[in-house]
Amino acid sequence: MRIALAEDSTLLREGIAQLLAAEGHTITHSVGNADDLLRAVASDPPELVIVDVRMPPDFVDEGIHAALRLRLEWPDVAVVVLSQYVERRHASELLDGRGGVGYLLKDRVSDIGGFLDALNRVRAGGTAFDPEVIRQLITAKSAPDSRLAGITERERSVLELMAQGHSNASMATRLYVSQSGIEKHINAIFTKLQIEPGTTYNRRVLAVLAYLDGT
């Protein structure tokens, strides 16, 4: 996979770059600020971008704005945002109905297997949101969505794992049910949330959006 990396901490940036290179990935660019990242992607678009939320010059939200611009101008480039803390507004902005996006906390990068798996899921068009991000997004919501009234507890569990980016096989293992059972739950969720086949957007992401917006 061709990956561009934007992180102001040289130590972390080089560490991630070496990890990815050792796994056979190609680092197209390794930069320390959002402007350099955007220029790099414009000159040579990678398959996936990893970007920190807070970068120079102000260390506020330069990275997230770059990520949103990437999503708009280079929709084929998958984006994974790294953050020290959960920034609920920013995490919500990234969920726009399409896949190919992730929001991971930096302290989870130490789980190398999980980190690499998340990158692969996002590159394949899925999502990878840290469980703590999902928990805080859910906690922040208060307005009920009538479409969620019929969602069962098991279906909510499926939706939460879906938001984290788990495959059907992974969800089946975690919930101790068969893959066919997971497929039935997902189809029931689509029906209850009125997400029709053939939609332009990713149905799984639309389901997650409905869950996070209406819980």
pLDDT of residue 200: 52
Residues 32 and 96 in one domain: yes
Residues 145 and 57 in one domain: no
Residue 184: which domain range?
141-214
Structure tokens at 110: 């130490």
pLDDT of residue 33: 93
Residues 7 and 68 in one domain: yes
Classify residue 136: in a domain, yes or no. Answer: no
d(CA 87, CA 81): 11
pLDDT of residue 36: 95
DSSP string, 52-121: ESS-TTTSSSHHHHHHHHHHHH-TTSEEEEEESS--HHHHHHH-SS-SSEEEEEGGGTT-HHHHHHHHHH
d(CA 152, CA 177): 15
Q: Is the pTM of this model over 0.75?
A: no
pLDDT of residue 25: 96
Residues 196 and 158 in one domain: yes
Classify residue 75: in a domain, yes or no. Answer: yes
Look-up: residue for tokens 């992730």? 102
Residues 154 and 85 in one domain: no
Residues 101 and 16 in one domain: yes
Instruction: Check which CATH number belongs to the domain holding 74 and give it.
Output: 3.40.50.2300
Classify residue 135: in a domain, yes or no. Answer: no
| Per-residue model confidence as pLDDT tens for the chain (215 residues) | 999 999 998 989 999 999 999 999 999 999 999 999 999 999 999 999 999 988 888 777 888 889 999 999 999 999 999 988 777 666 667 777 678 888 888 887 778 888 999 899 899 988 888 877 777 766 555 445 556 677 888 988 898 888 777 889 889 999 999 999 999 999 988 888 888 776 555 778 778 777 766 54
pLDDT of residue 142: 46
Residues 156 and 178 in one domain: yes
Domain boundary among 109, 130, 151: 130
Residues 33 and 108 in one domain: yes
pLDDT of residue 215: 46
d(CA 189, CA 179): 15
Classify residue 94: in a domain, yes or no. Answer: yes
DSSP string, 8-31: S-HHHHHHHHHHHHHTT-EEEEEE
pLDDT of residue 195: 82
Residues 98 and 10 in one domain: yes
